[in-house]
Structure 1
């Protein structure tokens, strides 16, 4: 049976009050006598009335402004998916008064991050969605937003800070543990492992901690684990640094790359003719998938940048428009990508 849709006029007639009184009860505004309120409230409960929130927002003509501070996808291809997720959510909710503006920064230039964050804050948004690539600078942005009542949502990188914010992404510590579990299954008993950070960001330490803790908890492990950080902005310097590390650590045969740049590391290993190695990395970039299918990357962990970014906009939009609760923490599943299922994720 199709449920009857009641109008404000219907409710007013049933309660024996004016339409204006019903409107004031529904929107909790203006004065209403106790007797009139009880009559309207009783009718609403009896008919299980659900207000049309789409129509309510359009009637109010309320505009909500969202600023997105995102690494420039033209500089680093990993962020193409996140950018598409932001665009998709923006297109979906724009007709209901959700306005989204993007501010792109260079992911290896903290001055670019500061400049774009200042522009985003100066625009006076209701919400700032941010990828906090640089720790101190991001904490300063959070402090300013708190003082100016700009609601903040972070994705991809989670920060350990006292400032309140919403985070949407993966459990980074658990992500490291998943990588360690995979590594432990496929390497030899005494293999030496290197945790490799390329262009280190705050979230990578959480992955490293999870990875190391997994092996600490498995007391039978005899693996030596080292950590090395590289910068890839200068190709020649990067290549020489990797070559020097391998020369000084010749027994290292397993590598955990903590971000999407496993393919950059492998490009150098190919030039050095380094073989018989195990590599676990992140993200379904075409360059990574190529090496995965060739058997040179063993596993990739999918961080779902599209979904992370989409949910940031969609969740805050639904909060504004429909009053839905906004969770302070939303972890997404940790997907393991192999050569056999990679094409489903491209």
Structure 2
């Protein structure tokens, strides 16, 4: 049994029930005696049975259209990996039965979300994947989709209180606590900690970044550290201001300073510090800060390999996109409801293990 493909009839034989009963359990249809259902589910778990989605697609003979509302991106970026995961899931189903259309908005402009979604005829799509970066805009779109009974899934950030079918993404609060713990391993108890907001004002950060910050600050409070937390808003058009602000904080004491970037763009801060280091003869910043960032994208990995970043916390963006599209496919084909909250693993990466990491 282990060496061959498990079929519904095999499970039925093991459970001593009809294949139709097994099919109803798998697809969550009809009424089944609790003891029979429990026995079938246990056998399914033991043999590792997975429904053949591609075969089901061929049998149905129709195409399902998914709209993915995501930020525009460049290659090797966080959102590039999310979209890669969406595409991979659709391609694995074969025969073009799942079609993903990407609707792009500007990551740093909440009003662009409204603009690109305003004229979309959502009736043309079977479901929607939403990168829920902007809370107000996400709620507005969710209300529109609820009105026409379209299922939708959130990725990256979770907006509470809506009727989303599911959420796929990291537990942002937990990742913030982990960031706090890892940072505390890198610096002294009295060291200052700087939270840098790249291309976001502090009062406009995404729900995910806000929860990360809450987790980080709560961990610091619970640990009883005497660290002073300072905040810098980084404008890529004026990088010298950030460098000067960091230099002032470093100059206040003789302890190494902890620096945290709450989104995937720690490499942008590193680039400005590298540029400053070429002309700054007074301060060797790389030796006086311990930097932590999020997401194992190539520019961040490069910054770690060059000695600027001490810790990266990865949330497997590719897996978020992949699982969201796969969950919608199962919902269409098998009436299978996904778990409401689906947290991706939180990976802690340091210079000693970054070379072995694949997501």
Q: What is the distance in 2 between the residues matched to 1:117 and 1:242? A: 35
Contact 2:71–2:131 (8 Å) recurs in 1: yes
What's the counterpart of residue 332 of structure 2?
320
Give 5+ residue unaligned stretches, structure 1. 7-14, 16-21, 28-44
Q: SS of the residue aligned with 1:269?
A: helix
Taking the aligned partners of 1:178 and 1:334, their CA distance within structure 2 comes to 9
The equivalences for 1:111-260 within 5 A come to: 111-122=111-122, 124-198=124-198, 199=200, 200-219=205-224, 221-232=225-236, 235=237, 237=238, 239-246=239-246, 248-250=248-250, 251=252, 253-260=257-264
1:290-325 deviation per Cα after TM superposition (whole angstroms, max 9, x unaligned): 221122110001121101100000111122223333
**How many angstroms does 1:98 deviate by?**
2.3
SS in 1 for 2:95: helix
Q: Which structure 1 residue ranges, 4+ long, deviate > 4 Å from structure 2?
A: 1-6, 50-57
Q: 1:52 to 1:192 in 2, by over 3 A?
A: closer
Deviation at 1:153, TM superposition (A): 0.5
The size of the alignment, in residue pairs, is: 305
Given that 1:197 and 1:204 are in contact with CA atoms closer than 8 Å, whether structure 2 keeps it comes out as no
Using a 3 Å threshold, how does the CA distance of structure 1 residues 56 and 338 change in structure 2: closer, same or farther? closer
What displacement does 1:112 show? 2.9
Q: What TM-score results when the alignment is normalised by the length of structure 1?
A: 0.78
**Bigger radius of gyration among the two:** 1
More displaced 10-residue stretch of structure 1: 157-166 or 313-322 = 157-166
Where in structure 2 are there 5+ consecutive unaligned residues?
Answer: 10-17, 25-39, 44-48, 278-284
Q: Which residue matches 1:344?
A: 356
Report the CA distance shift for 1:56/1:337 in structure 2 as closer, same or farther (over 3 A): closer
1:95 aligned residue: 95
Counterpart-to-counterpart distance in 2, 1:4 and 1:311: 24
**Structure 2 partner of 1:269:** 273
Q: 1:136-188: CA deviations, max 9, x gaps?
A: 21221111111121111111112234444411011000000000010111101
- Provide the C-alpha distance between the structure 1 equivalents of 2:169 and 2:322, rounded to a whole number of angstroms: 11
Aligned equivalent of 2:282: none
Alignment of 1:32-43 (within 5 A): none
Contact map agreement 2:76 2:298 (CA 8 A) in 1: no
1:42-78 deviation per Cα after TM superposition (whole angstroms, max 9, x unaligned): xxx9xx9x99876665444343221111111238832
Q: Distance in 2 between matches of 1:52 and 1:81?
A: 26
Output the CA distance in 2 between the equivalents of 1:188 and 1:208. 20
Hey, what's the Cα distance between the residues in 1 that align with 2:192 and 2:304?
Answer: 21
- In the alignment, is the contact (CA less than 8 A) between 1:159 and 1:203 conserved in 2? no
Contact 1:71 1:105 in 2 (8 A): yes
Shift of the 108–295 alpha-carbon distance from structure 1 to 2, 3 Å rule, reads same
TM-score computed with the length of structure 2 as normaliser: 0.75
Preserved CA contact (<8 Å) 1:190 1:223: yes
Matched, 1:78 2:85: no
Partner Cα separation in structure 2 for residue 4 and residue 256 of structure 1: 50
Match of 1:303 in 2: 315
Q: 1:175–1:210: 8 Å Cα contact kept in structure 2?
A: yes
Separation of aligned partners in 1, 2:210 and 2:218:
12
